[in-house]
Amino acid sequence: MQIPFVNLQRQHQPFISELQDLVSELLATNMVMGGKSVRKFEAEFASYIGVNYALSCANATDALEVVLRAWEIKAGDEVIVPANGWMSAAEAVLLVGATPVFIDNKPNGYGLDEELIEDKVNDCTKAIIPIHLYGDPVDISKVSKISERFGLKVLEDCAQAHGASVEGKKVGSWGQAGIFSFYPTKNLGALGDGGMIVTSDKSLADKCIAIANHGQSKPDRHHLLGRNSRMDALQAKILSLKLPYLDQWNNRRRQIANYYLKSWADLPVVLPSSTDNSVWHLFVLRVDRREKVIAELSKKGVATKVHYPTPVSQQPIFEKYSKSEAFPNAEQHAPQLLSIPVYPELSDSEVEYIARTVKSVIEAVEGHQ
């Protein structure tokens, strides 16, 4: 059996006819950028998240930068970001001229450790960007309370957490703003790229719209230094088509993840924490002799990935900002992280095969140390 890490062809197969109709419809019109298709999806996504405004962008990294620019975060300011995960949050902070301040993740988790935030706050601190990594939300209620106490902005990075909730409230709606990615492999993915800013703050929404559209407050009036960051109509139509299925897909991810957790409970690995809040964008375990495990699983047809092999704080571009600090959890976890397929289109037989194969490979590898 050969099981790829993701299978977008299988996801799109039930929609082939509708997808072809969408393309034909766009070809018959002149509205391929912006327009009613984009506005429609923005309204649908805002309603789904539970905010007043959803503002589309070209991608999630743009979305992060646009919000930071709208908040006028600049050189001399500091923004708290996780030491573990993808680099976009810290990258966006640098792009606006501010300084990223890294925080380690928890010993038993992968999101930033909320208990470490207060020690990093000073007069230069303006915002926090918690990342709901792998689809598992941080304790955003605690982050929000800390931010309120110190007067900080919260920009939730929900690029991997479409549909996740905390205390019945969708991630993205807790902070002053949130961002999402619609990269094709996300829980809600386009056929190209796309991003979204979500907020209930009208003044922030208006400013973000202007910045993402060359700083225009109205046609041909440029009051702000902006950029060109927009979603095309095709991606918006595709995302509108898929959005009604997101909760169903997330529930299937939970079902698969729970099967793995039960199947591997006795293995000498560190399993992710079981939580009803997670939407399991990735199922990440920690394992010794990772490269050997990857090779053996590949031989048996199970594809895997590593998310992410180097902590953000250790990337060359950020070395001077981590101030030679140690981030022991992020650094200890990085060589052990291993992502297992968890996409909702996996059949029951494939899930069972993955569970059996991972179990047998890890037992064999650990038994020959």
pLDDT at 69: 98
Say whether 347 sits in a helix, a strand or coil: coil
φ, ψ of residue 96 to 5 degrees: the values are: -95, 5
Q: pLDDT tens per residue, the chain (369 residues)? A: 999 999 999 999 999 999 888 888 877 776 666 678 899 999 999 999 999 999 999 999 999 999 999 999 999 999 999 999 999 999 999 999 999 999 999 998 899 999 999 999 999 999 999 999 999 999 999 999 999 999 999 999 999 999 999 999 999 999 999 999 999 999 999 999 999 999 999 999 999 999 999 998 778 888 888 999 999 989 999 999 999 999 999 999 999 999 999 999 999 999 998 778 999 999 999 999 999 999 999 999 999 999 999 999 999 999 888 877 889 999 999 999 999 999 999 999 999 999 999 999 999 998 755
CA nearest neighbour of 173 among 58, 47, 259, 275: 47
Q: What CA–CA distance (Å, rounded) separates 155 from 21?
A: 37
List alpha helices for 230-280, DSSP H: 233-242, 246-263
CA 327: distance to chain centroid? 21
CB proximity list for 114: less than 8 A, separation 6 or greater: 138, 139, 142, 143, 146
Cα 83 to chain centroid, rounded: 15
Question: Would you say 313 and 83 are in contact if contact means Cβ atoms under 8 Å apart?
Answer: yes
- Cβ pair 162, 246 in contact under 8 A: yes
DSSP 281: S
Instruction: Tell if the pTM clears 0.85, that is, is over it.
Output: yes
Gyration radius of the chain's alpha carbons: 21
What's the pLDDT at 32? 65
Return the pLDDT at 33. 67
Given its phi and psi angles, is residue 180 left (phi above 0), alpha (psi -120 to 50 degrees) or beta? beta
Q: How far apart are CA 236 and CA 24, in angstroms?
A: 15
User: DSSP 3-state assignment of 207?
Assistant: helix
Question: Domain residue spans in the chain?
Answer: 8-103+111-244, 246-367
Q: Which CATH architecture has domain 8-103+111-244?
A: 3-Layer(aba) Sandwich (3.40)
**Is the bond leading into 353 cis (omega within 30 degrees of zero)?**
no
Q: What pLDDT does residue 34 have?
A: 67
> Is residue 234 within 8 Å of 209, Cβ to Cβ?
no
The CATH number corresponding to 246-367 among 2.40.110.10, 3.90.470.20, 3.90.1150.10, 3.40.190.10 equals 3.90.1150.10
